[in-house]
Chains A and B, each alone.
Chain A
């Protein structure tokens, strides 16, 4: 080839100055071999582009959706680190929230029919809550009443997950093969029901997460990987 490869392809890609391009153009016009190579590469590139363009033209699948909880939490953490901690509204919201059961081993009053059970003085997730904690990904919410929010590792390395159902929200962490509840908070008066998710994380729960978390929450890929490893 009378034109160096790099230069030939730069010409093909429109990367040369007009003067340089004219020189290569003239070479290609003189050489049937170069002209054929140019044609083959143009055809290959157009085939490559057409194939991948089908992806860009297709609707974006609904499952590609950032976990807003992770994003909000990280943003809130930064805002607090920057010194904007504790607006009066935040404290009012905290005061309005009723803690109904909280912290390792200390049982207050679990809901009579709630998806929790007591064993050895500890509160564990059961039934639908246990299923959701075990199997749901925040990036791919299921149809059940329980929604998973953040997944993270606490300072001891255990996987913890926040959850919300129509009546409450809370935090559960892996203890052996079970999910032990670290906190459970009732929805503020008048805010229960399916729409309370819109209000963001319960401030008590956010404070509890803040005091437990080591590093940042897991992102979608890390959450999936943690699930694959049985939340170990």
Chain B
């Protein structure tokens, strides 16, 4: 990130990563893009609260995570409880037939969807977004022990769902 860039430009440069994070949290791409857009708006409106010199990415990720909790959580929990047999089948399909990573996205989103929220956000931030444990503790305001035990449970559950390759 180039600190000489304007706030808006830096935020714009983060958009692809924010969209990726939104996809790890959301049920489908349409919801993910709604979440991304709401995050960008909230970030622009809260610009005064961001302290220059601190990491804009962690700040924007936190906004997205909080919005997701506010708006999407109840909906996605309901959806997970009502997961259809077709969805369960989709997750269990042989991954070797899905050579294309883009096709695999649907399966991975369905698998992430079935993780409890508190495991899903930790798995997403560490395994997909590449944040360090300590950064995630700060972002989510959680102690290290909680983050690492959620990560253990989340990734074991994911492995059980998507199987070995």
Contact = CB atoms under 8 A, between A and B. Distances in A.
Interface stretch (A56-64, A91-99, A160-168): A56-64
A13 B158 CA distance: 16
A56 B48 contact: no
Contacts of B108: 47-48, 51-52
Chain A interface size band reads 35 or more
A164 to B, nearest CB: 20
Contacts of A221: 34, 37-38, 71
B15 A41 contact: no
Contacts of B152: 5-6, 9
* Majority secondary structure, B binding face: helix
A40 B159 CA distance: 8
A70 interface: yes
Nearest to A221: B38
Contact of B40 (A9, A66, A74): A66
Interface range on chain B (Cβ under 8 Å from partner): 35 or more
B15 to A, nearest CB: 5
A72 to B, nearest CB: 10
A220 B37 contact: yes
Nearest to A216: B45
A15 B133 CA distance: 7
Interface in A35-65: 40-41, 43-45, 47-58, 60-61, 63-65
B16 interface: yes
Contacts of A65: 37
A10 interface: yes
Nearest to B162: A44
Interface of A: 5-6, 9-10, 13, 15, 40-41, 43-45, 47-58, 60-61, 63-67, 70-71, 74, 78, 139, 216, 219-221, 224
Interface of B: 15-17, 19-20, 23-24, 32-34, 36-38, 40-42, 44-45, 48, 71, 95, 101-102, 104-105, 107-109, 126-128, 132-133, 145, 148-149, 151-152, 155, 158-159, 162, 164-165
Ranked nearest first, the 8 interchain pairs of A and B with the lowest CB-CB distance are A51-B108, A56-B20, A56-B16, A51-B104, A50-B101, A55-B20, A51-B105, A6-B148
